[in-house]
Structure 1
């Protein structure tokens, strides 16, 4: 979600393409607070913010002076889901944890069958309808409802709950103060 004041300042958003050849397989972004998710949602792209310690940061200026404790991660932006998968598969196929011990030793998995199901545990998905700071636009609310309806079709595997944020406005104020 982008704040309304931010949306008013955005002109025409273009998809991620190389101007000369009218194509790009994707771009890489460093994210600590929305630098992957926001461009993806505002430009009609796919974006993935991997867990910290999943993608190597060697050779990257990953920290902002004064914000060393805010951990960021590198992640891909692509016009296709295939571009995201290709990036992650390629990076993790090199087993970067063999040269950077701070990384998680988890290879890329092409399918979703790795979700642990023993018949006792369900995947719990929390849905945030309103964080008390920014209300989702009607198309976003509709997409959330459609997602909830689809997930509820698998009651033995998935539990859908409504997530109520705790002091979200206060948390945002603290986060903004860290960046300023």
Structure 2
């Protein structure tokens, strides 16, 4: 089982009032919120729609960037059996995705160094200090969930504030998602 759950920290009524100029300027093309990845019951991140505001602000993730990077993993799977993805908010925390046949083993690891200059690498990390967990799912399950939840997120933005679809960050996400869909 592989699931993604997310929720922007900005309520829809406020999100609907943000202009494209404000989103790209004041908000920096970033939409923060809860973002949780669940692999066979092992989780990373937080999703609790009933959490009080102080907790929500502490566990903020960049939702657009997270979906963008997960789509990059899908795209990279076409040419690589090994992909490592930085967790964005913690330089030392990574996910490793290792494809074998129809299976995809996902590792949540900590590295000793933070001098890796990219959020995604296709050469094995050689500085792993801790493996928190490892779980195996199917590649198709991963691809389907990433694409379905990215589409759901984009449709939600389109419904609440279609002007934001023209932002640089969401345009980039749409482009990545389009490339990922070719692999379905």
TM-score when normalising by structure 1: 0.25
Flag the structure with more relative contact order, 1 or 2, with Cα contacts below 8 A and sequence separation at least 6. 2
Per residue, is there more helix in 1 or in 2?
Answer: 2
Q: Over alpha carbons, which structure has the higher Rg?
A: 1
Per residue, is there more strand in 1 or in 2?
Answer: 2
